[in-house]
Each structure stands twice: as structure tokens, then as C-alpha cells.
Amino acid sequence: MMSPGPVTLDVVGLELNFEDRRRILDPLTGGVILFGRNFASRKQLTQLAAEIKSLRPDVLISIDHEGGRVQRCRQDGFTHLPAMRKLGDLWAAKNKSAHNAESAAQAMAAATACGYVLATELRACGVDFSFTPVLDLDFGRSAVIGDRSFSGDPQIVFALAKSLNEGLRLAGMANCGKHFPGHGWAEADSHVAIPVDERSLKQILGNDAKPYEWLDLSLAAVMPAHVIYPKVDQQPAGFSKIWLQKILRNDLGFEGVIFSDDLSMEGASVAGSVVKGAQLALNAGCDAVLICNRPDLADQLLSKLKVSKSKKAESQTRLNRLMPQSPALPWEDLQVEAEYQHAKLLLKKLKLI
């Protein structure tokens, strides 16, 4: 069996074509990320995931499936999960100072239920992993983050993210906190621009990065932001040894997987070509690099990226931990499972679905 490489790439449509198969079989490929264009029905998604696994059982099939406006699978029985802001609002619903014990407990229970429903439904269709939760703080400045954030309070973000992660864990799915150290202050959208956050390291570590510090061992993976923090480094966080090795690995003690954000985004353009960007991200401390929506750039990566054996082995060990460690329930069995029914009932009772 091939061992997974550092490249996570996407596929074109609802089923694999020849070029998709060729890329998935490349030894540098370690993951496949799915998008809304890859979903038409549960049956089709399950068949697509099975075909990917038939080619490469070792690749991690992932998706951006957070709830709210970022949810790739919305039809054919999938629960339309709330934006994470709704959980933060629930926390503060009965007391504007956000310290009411009853509303906080309800919000944490709802977060766990969201994580469980999210993970069990995806896993029933063959998807291994979702890039969630968003740990960015909502400062009311970033439209691209907005209601994807739980709250502007790092303590609430920590508590709700930890609860969501527990729901994912109970369903056999790992988690990924994003976008380290925080995308909530920078106003620009890194998909189409190069965001800059002029705050000091002390300000960022004292606010935005706190959920990463507090989540500690419950955080399985992290995705850094395509944001430049010039008071710390001239490179965006995902290409910065200071952010990834000194601060995230050494100071915060993070031992999980570091994924780059999509290298085709405008925020990554400061690194140069996609190959230079991937090399810089890996050298800075990323274990895996994402390239999405650009098959031509994926081909460049697979043909030109150089990865040392030691780096690949170290990252493989971490990446393997993200694979589900328990069998998934088929969709029909899931619908009658007590825990799943309880989770959905709770979310309905709280008017979140």
C-alpha cells in the first residue's frame, strides 16, 4: 500500500474522470477534499467516496462542512446545521453578560449535538474528516468570517469549540481549528485579497490565539490563516516558521497536523508560484498543503514538489491519526440510532434546525 503524501487536492465532478484517478494515485497525494459540486445525492456521494477509497484506501477524504453558509451537503436528508454564531447567541440569550449558567450549558450541549450530527452524517457517506471548527473571534470586521465564528469572546469560542469537538469525537471524526492565529480582525477576504493584521503579537496571543492554547490536546489539526501579521513576520502565518514552529509547535505545544489553507487563494500569492508556496508552507511547518479548484496547479505540484523522506514520514504519522478509528453507521442505521435521534431532537427543541 502507498503511504500518503502531503498534497490534498480536489476532483472535478460527481464521479472520477481519468485525470482525477491519475492525481489520486500519485504518491504525493495524501488527501481529497470535496466541494458542493461533488454532491448531488447521498447515494452519489457514497459511491464517489467508495471509488476514491478503492484507488487509495490511505487517503483522507475531507470536506468544508461547518454549518450555516459553509456546508457542502444540504439536501437528500442531510441536516442543515446552524451557523456557529447561533450557538454563541444561545449562550448569551438569557444574560447579555454571557455568564448565565443555564444558557451556557444549553449552548455547549447544542454544540456537541451539532458535532455528532455533522460527523455521523458525513461518515455514513464515506467522508472521513471536516475542516471544522472555526476558532476565529468575531470582531465585527471580517465579512468572510462573520457568523462562522462562535463569538468575539475567546472563552466562549473555546468552550463551544471543545463541545463541538467532543461531538465529532463521539462520532469517530477528528477536528481542525482554523484559521490560526486568527482571521477575525483582518477585513480583507483571503480568497480574493491579501489580508493584513497590524496588531501586536501580545494582542493576538492574548485574544485570538487563546482558544488554540486552551484546547490543547483536544485539537487534532490546525489550519493557519493566509493573513500577514507584520509585527510578527512578513510572511502570512501559513508560510511562517515563527507562527508555526516557534509559537504553535513550541510555545503552545501543538502536536497535531498543520494543513495549509488553499494555495490557489489570493492570500497565498505572496509566496510566488504554487510550487514555491507549497515548499515554503512545508518548510515552515505544515504537514499537508491544499490545492483546490485548479487542476492545472495540482499537476504542477505533483510533478515538481520535493519532499524529504524524513519530513514525509513525520507528517504521515500525524496525518494517519486523523483517519476514523471506528466503523461508520450506514445511513439507514443512523436514522434509528438513539444518540443521533437525541442530538437532532435537542437541536430542534432549541430551534437550531
CATH topology of domain 7-349: TIM Barrel (3.20.20)
What is the reported pLDDT for 310? 73
| Strand partners for 34 | 63
In contact, 137 and 152? CB cutoff 8 Å: yes
* Residue whose C-alpha is closest to residue 247's, from 164, 332, 180: 180
In the chain, which ranges are continuous DSSP H helix? 18-25, 42-55, 84-91, 101-124, 154-170, 201-206, 210-215, 241, 274-284, 295-304, 309-320, 331-335, 338-349
Cell of 215: 484546547
What is the pLDDT averaged over residues 122-132? 98
What is the reported pLDDT for 309? 78
**Cis amide leading into 295 (omega within 30):** no
Is residue 243 scored above 70 in pLDDT?
Answer: yes
Q: Which amino acid is at 138?
A: D
| Strand partners for 258 | 222
The residues annotated as belonging to the active site are 191, 261
Residues 6+ apart with CB under 8 A from 301: 7, 9, 28, 263, 274, 275, 278, 289, 291
Model confidence band, residue 74 (pLDDT cutoffs 50, 70, 90): very high
Q: Cα–Cα distance between 298 and 238 in angstroms, integer?
A: 18
Is residue 188 scored above 80 in pLDDT?
Answer: no
Is residue 208 scored above 90 in pLDDT?
Answer: yes
Tell me the helices (H) and strands (E) count for the chain, helix number first: 13, 10
pTM for the model stands at 0.94
pLDDT digits (tens, 9 = 90+) for 326-352: 999 999 999 999 999 999 999 999 999
CB count, 10 Å around CB of 300? 16
Is residue 122 scored above 70 in pLDDT?
Answer: yes
Is residue 264 scored above 90 in pLDDT?
Answer: no
The segment with the largest mean pLDDT, out of 42-56, 256-270, 299-313, is: 42-56
Q: Which residue has the cell 482554523?
A: 178
Q: Cα–Cα distance between 116 and 112 in angstroms, integer?
A: 6
Q: Cα–Cα distance between 199 and 225 in angstroms, integer?
A: 15
pLDDT digits (tens, 9 = 90+) for 294-312: 999 999 999 999 888 777 7
Residue by residue, DSSP assigns 25-69 as HSTTEEEEEE-GGG-S-HHHHHHHHHHHHHH-TTSEEEE-EEETT
What is the reported pLDDT for 100? 75
| Strand partners for 63 | 34, 130
**Cis amide leading into 179 (omega within 30):** yes
Q: Please report, for the chain, the start and end positions of each structural domain, with discontinuous segments joined by +.
A: 7-349
Cell of 191: 480568497
Round to the nearest angstrom and report the end-to-end CA distance of the chain: 42
Q: Which residue has the cell 432549541?
A: 350
Pairing verdict, β 177-180 and 129-130? unpaired
